[in-house]
Structure 1
Amino acid sequence: MDWIAEMTDEDTALWRSDLGLIADAARQAGDVALGYFNQSPEVWWKNEGRSPVSAADFAANQKLESILRAARPDYGWLSEETDDDGDRLSRETLFIIDPIDGTRAFLAGQDLWCVSVAVVRHGRPVAGVLYAPALEEFYEAVEGGVALKNGRPITVSTTPLDAPGRFAIAEDVLKAFPEALKHRIERVRHVPSLAYRIAMVADGQIDGTFVKHNSHDWDLAAADLILERAGGRLVDLQGEAPLYNRIQVSHGELCAATAPRLADLLRGIGERRGS
């Protein structure tokens, strides 16, 4: 985007300062959530009974909010566990939060959940962290920098395109792909946290993933930046990067992958739809 091309040294210093802030906040919130892990926290249901939310989600959200909003009172706020309002739309910069991405896994005693925190400016992330405390994994990235996992640089997979790519993809979606594309995809087991799944692409553990419609800003923003700085991309079916902090915070179908795999996957999806 144009404003990124015009970034100054002052902007870079601010984003790095923001990264330090959200990294500390995510660690504290993750430790709060970890205290509830495997402890049968109280659970409620939202979205007409389709999505669980637990006392751990609310406690982690409260910790994040108490740290971040006090430190950056001029930033907007969007969190899965905070009632949304229109104020964020008037802010150039905001925090986008998921206090526990993968709540179902968390409640089932599975390790694959994480705290997701991003700083978004003009619709795109400029700093992002994912903290998976049960796995002792910490992912981070800042605009213009490299993606890190536990302090070490990570990059996307270099598996050649003529070898099957390992994809986290729903079975029903894969079945609908053209036969030629199916044979180039090795399906891996379901990963309940979308943010963590995208981080797996950034870390080269898998070659890509397909995201069904109705993901949300808080599922994506931090992981999006981490993947980008690791050499991959998250895009819609037209090849465009998602924008955040719009009136509508849900998204359509998306793909996350290395560049060659992404082009191959988008071609295959186009064939599936006859486009």
Structure 2
Amino acid sequence: MQAADLQLLIDAAQEAGEIAKRYDGRQAKTWHKPEGAGPVTEADLAVNDMLERELRAARPNYGWLSEESLDGSDRLKNDRVFIIDPIDGTRSFIEGSDTWAHSLAIAEAGEVTAAVIYLPRRNRLYVASKGQGATLNTEPLQVSTNAVMQGADVLVARPAMDAALWKETPPDFKRGYRPSLAYRTALVAQGRFDAMLTLRPTWEWDIAAGDLILREAGAATSDRHGAPLIFNNADPRLAGIVAANPRIHAQICGALAPHDRAQ
């Protein structure tokens, strides 16, 4: 079933790419979600409509969690659930950049078992199936082997480097950034960067696919407290994400301040 699920996600992601590429993000109709939740475009909605229609028809017994669909408690009754971000990096899409992605995952009992991150404008298809490794355009992925946190190449936004979030001085990372969280996870799985982290509450759909791709590439992943990432929660927000090879992951988690101090 895992192999069939993965192929289903691959086919859906590629179809999503064809739909999204019909739109010029700079001219697409755009709305702003309530409470500062960010923008959504007609392309996001068109992709989401196709994915929800086709994936749910293919797996009617799976639950559904998507950034662009109304959420409810019904998915909590399902053993398996789709976790979908139709376009991750919508702001990048609106700017006319090519660093946005489709992020598709299936989770079973809280653990992601099949995952796809697809950047159609860059022709990058990252995929993983539980226990079967991770690939980029069919080539195996492996995380970096750098074992030292200080000076590591890390994808991290400036707010996460606030001194209050660290036990001592924030690490001397070589900082990089990409607007799509899914793409950040994929780049670490690819070994292009040593680690990525975000310490803010993080929506499941932003990181579900990346979590499996990272782990199948040899990474350790956790929330900001070092706890495993568990998906399909009633509140689909996790306490951030820290991802790196096991050595650097342990060093970063050990350097972060306790949650109560960070508040």
Q: Same fold (TM over 0.5)?
A: yes
Structure 1, 37-46 or 126-135: larger mean CA deviation: 37-46
Moved over 3 A (4+): 177-181, 270-275
> Retained in 1: the 8 A contact 2:117–2:183?
yes
1:137 counterpart (124, 131, 135):
124
Which residues in structure 2 correspond to 1:46-195 (within 5 Å)? 46-161=33-148, 164-176=151-163, 177=166, 182-183=171-172, 185-188=173-176, 190-195=177-182
Match of 1:263 among 250, 258, 262: 250
The residue identity in structure 1 corresponding to 2:171 is K
The TM-score normalised by the length of structure 1 is 0.89
1:237 to 2:204 alignment: no
**Post-superposition offset of 1:238:** 3.0
Select which of 163, 181, 196 maps to 2:183. Answer: 196
Moved more, 251-260 or 158-167: 158-167
What residue in structure 2 maps to residue 211 of structure 1? 198
Alignment CA distance shift 1:209-1:226 (3 Å)? same
Shift of 1:210: 1.4
Is the contact between residue 81 and residue 106 of structure 2 (CA under 8 Å) also seen in structure 1?
A: yes
Structure 1 residue aligned with 2:210: 223
**CA–CA distance in 1 between the matches of 2:100 and 2:149?**
32
Cα distance in 1 between the residues matched to 2:245 and 2:24: 33
Question: How far is the alpha carbon of 1:164 from its aligned partner?
Answer: 1.9
- Aligned-pair distance for 1:264? 0.8
Report deviation, 1:179.
Answer: 6.1
Identity, % of aligned positions:
38
The whole-number CA distance in structure 2 between the counterparts of 1:162 and 1:219 is 25
Q: Any idea what the Cα deviations from partners look like across 1:221-242, whole Å, max 9, x if unmatched? A: 1110000000002202332211
CA contact (8 A) 2:149 2:171 kept: no
Once the 2 structures are TM-superposed, how far is the Cα of residue 52 of structure 1 from its aligned partner? 0.2
SS of structure 1 residue aligned to 2:254:
helix
The letter of the residue matching 1:157 is S
Q: TM (normalized to structure 2)?
A: 0.93
Question: Could you say which residue in structure 2 is the equivalent of 1:42?
Answer: 29
Q: CA deviation at 1:253?
A: 2.7
Is residue 201–residue 257 contact of structure 1 (8 Å, CA) maintained in 2? yes
Kept in 1: contact 2:154–2:193 (CA 8 A): yes
- Structure 1 alignment gaps of length 5 or more: 1-13
CA drift of 1:181 comes to 5.4
**Take 2:29 and 2:152, find their aligned partners in 1: how far apart are those partners?**
40
Q: 1: CA distance between counterparts of 2:127 and 2:91?
A: 24
Tell me how far apart the structure 2 counterparts of residues 119 and 178 of structure 1 sit (CA, whole Å): 36
C-alpha distance after superposition, 1:4-34 (max 9, x if no partner): xxxxxxxxxx011100011101110111011
Aligned length: 260
8 Å contact from structure 1 (residues 102, 114) kept in 2: yes
Contact 2:225 2:239 in 1 (8 A): no
Q: CA–CA distance in 2 between the matches of 1:233 and 1:103? A: 27
The answer to whether the 8 Å contact 1:127/1:222 transfers is: yes
